[in-house]
Structure 1
Amino acid sequence: MRAFRFVTVDVFTDRRFGGNQLAVFPDARGLSDAEMQSLAAEFNLSETTFVLPPEKPHNSARVRIFNRVAEMPFAGHPNVGTAYVLGREDEASPRTYRFEEPAGLVEVALLRDETGRVLGAEVAAPQPLRVGAELPVSVAAACAGLSKDAIVTARHVPTLATDGGNPRLLTEVTREGLTAAAPDLGAFRRAVEAYPDQTRGFLSLYLYCRDGAQVRTRMFSPLTGTWEDSATGSAATPLAGFLLSLDGGDDGAWEMLQGVEMGRPSLLLAGARRTPEGIRARVGGHCVPVLRGEAVL
């Protein structure tokens, strides 16, 4: 029998049972790929992370992120929550972690209060913004269970974008549409079949309604088992970068509120800036510990 310690935290919130849940295995040495995937499926959360020694000694750790069905190259709230767990276990830890992940090297800065206690973290997307294909309004509307009138196209049509994680279909909607949206699994499957080159077998829909620097969002990814996500850092960063690309200027910051309709309100503090290599984004927030235990295999 082998035992592996885990911690669960709520990410992008300052109160327990809000935000997005995450399970973290701070020392995953000895776990196989199949065991990591099985544990992620067993926890049945949007993501579970496994911390391993870095391949290069000047980095902090190698972090592997699994959703219910597959490993992910990068994700936002798992990086924030993992850094928080490691920082809370060692309050003398460095301010910034460097995590090795399939999408590249990920930098995560700890957020502390005036006494130095770790409150959360901020993660920088590992790659510059990449804007992909546009999909028809009818596709986004069908996936969200909305009429086409609920999709706002004054500034852009539904557009795929990423900065290291899975591509998200960024779709602006009316406030009423945001409240009424409900994912249609059949529509997601039809969209992937109709647009194989653009979606590559995966489709995640990120709806948003904007009021200046305040943004309300919802994220649906039923093809990976996440019917709705309460906080999606790897969608908030491409959205921040995309908004900056639309607005112009050198930098911008937005407060993104997600998870309200699920009863798990989350606050994601996102920002983006222009760099010589493109638009770079970041997202941060607070975390709250919830459970500790062991997985016995």
Structure 2
Amino acid sequence: MHYHHVDVFTGHPYSGNSLAVFPEADALTGRQMQAVTRELRHFESVFLLRDGAPAHPRRARARVFDLTGELDFAGHPLIGAAAVLHALHGAADREAWTLRVPARTVEVITERRGPGRYASLLDQGAAAFLGRPDPHGLTALFALEPGDLDPGLPPEVVSTGLRYLVLPVRGDALARARVTVPLDGPLARIGAQFAYLLDAAALEGRHWNNDGVLEDVATGSGAGCAAAYLRRHGRIGAGEPALLRQGRFTGRPSEMSVIAAPTTGRPRPRPSRPSRPCRWPTGRKPSDRTGRRVHEARGQGPAARPGGPAPGHIGTPEFANSARTRHQLFPPRGPLKRCPRQPCCPTGELPTGSDGTSHRVAVPS
């Protein structure tokens, strides 16, 4: 069975958040998917299954696993999966994909950027704010003191499919944090599944699996919750791009561009259309506030047509009953000047590997 190795949220291969994408996983059972994920030891793996008629490859069911079990929702696996689908099935430079996960059905727009390069826009849907737990005892879970909490922000449980405790910290607390006890029980008691430590001043976050053994390099679903949280508490403006960093303490620094913007309804991807040539180079942080910085996704896989992964949205009921958070992927190609023909610049990358062949994995019986 073939799979694709993708690195998301980075401008360099073998950095960012790695991911295994299995584009034809209909024959696998859930037990086999879990066993494969544990064998490969990526933070997460995503398995794609047919969802409807074979004549409609732009719709798929996605099953996402981490090392402990199946997830109802995840960010970077869906971004990477859409990039692989574009590489395998995309005819136009711009495509729209529908991916169904247990928590919801999401839409991802991908744009081909070059050989094996893609940009992605992931719609995370509406965010729910599920309560503000008593901060007493929360810091001790991460070897921190009560004084390490940001006094201007409350701990809050936020969900766009997975329920995160967003724990705001300050100073050097992010660098000192570590998981001291298994988190499943303490988080369940406050209605959360996972924890995301956030330094709102530095726009940097950290996330571990609940036993604290592995730290995630970049957490797309957590970044969506963080963006909705920051917008709710006035730390970012409506529609204002923010660059959220993660992974510094793992040796794989990553960057996630997020936007929380009011909308009159849930944003819908625009239909597929050919991209026009762009007169400007793209990549690094734009020189004006209207541009965006994006993540780049790289990986090894079968020889793919030029293309790439997409950004995402997140809704905040507090703001016109909906809002969006955008995760984008841009290749690092020098300063970006605002293109007068926007939106014509796709973003992101999924390299094909030097040998042009896909990886294989033995499937446990």
Show the counterpart of 1:45.
42
Match of residue 103 from structure 2: 103
- Structure-to-structure mapping, 1:214-229, within 5 angstroms: 215-223=203-211, 227-229=214-216
DSSP-derived class of the 2:325 partner = strand
Structure 1 or 2: more strand by fraction:
1
Aligned-residue offset at 1:133:
2.1
Q: Aligned pair in 2 of structure 1 residues 117, 34: CA closer, same or farther (>3 Å)?
A: closer
1:264 is aligned to 252
SS in 2 for 1:138: coil
Partners of 1:179 and 1:261 within 8 A in 2 = yes
- Give the partner amino acid of 2:25: A
| Structure of greater Rg | 2
Partner of 2:222: 235
Aligned-residue offset at 1:190: 5.4
TM-score (norm 2): 0.70
In the alignment, what sits opposite 2:142? Answer: 144
Q: Distance in 2 between matches of 1:51 and 1:190?
A: 31
Query: Within 1, Cα distance between the matches of 2:349 and 2:60?
Result: 20
**SS class of match (2:208):** strand
Q: Name the CA distance, whole Å, in 2 between partners of 1:290 and 1:222.
A: 33
Cα distance in 1 for residues equivalent to 2:352 and 2:132 = 40
Q: Distance in 1 between matches of 2:110 and 2:213?
A: 27
Amino acid at match of 2:176: A
For 1:168 and 1:72, locate their aligned partners in 2 and report how far apart those are by CA, in whole Å.
13
C-alpha change, 1:110 and 1:226, in structure 2 (3 Å) is: farther
| Equivalence for 1:18 | 15
| Percent of residue pairs identical | 27
- Partners of 1:13 and 1:287 within 8 A in 2: no
The 2-side partners of 1:30 and 1:119 are apart by: 28
User: What is the alpha-carbon distance in structure 2 between the residues aligned to residue 206 and residue 260 of structure 1?
Assistant: 15
Aligned equivalents of 2:21 and 2:45: distance in 1?
Answer: 6
Q: CA deviation at 1:287?
A: 4.5
Three-state SS of the structure 2 residue aligned to 1:221 is coil
In the alignment, what sits opposite 2:196?
Answer: 206
Alignment root-mean-square deviation, CA: 2.4
**CA distance in 1 between partners of 2:111 and 2:30 (Å):** 31
- Superposed displacement of residue 116, structure 1: 8.1
Task: Give the counterpart letter for 1:105 in structure 2.
Answer: T
8 Å CA contact 1:240–1:253 kept in 2: the answer is: no
1:173-197 Cα offsets, whole Å, 9 max, x none, are 11311111112124x25524xx536
Structure 1 distance, partners of 2:176, 2:77, is: 28
2:186 is aligned to 191
Report the TM-score when normalising by structure 1: 0.85
Q: Tell me, what secondary structure is at the counterpart of 2:138? A: helix
Label 1:191 to 1:290 Cα distance change in 2 as closer, same or farther (>3 A).
farther
Distance 1:146 1:288, change over 3 A: farther
**Secondary structure at the counterpart of residue 203 of structure 2:** strand
Match of 2:117 in 1: 118
Segments of structure 1 that go 5 or more residues without pairing to the other structure are none
Mapped pair 1:162 → 2:159: yes
The separation in 1 between residues aligned to 2:111 and 2:247, in whole angstroms, is 22
Tell me, which stretches of 5 or more residues in structure 2 are unaligned? Answer: 265-320, 330-347
- Superposition pairs for residues 66-85 of structure 1, below 5 Å? 66-85=65-84
The number of aligned residues is 281
Compute the displacement of 1:265 (Å). Answer: 0.6
1:132 pairs with one of 127, 130, 133? 130
Aligned-partner residue type, residue 361 of structure 2: A
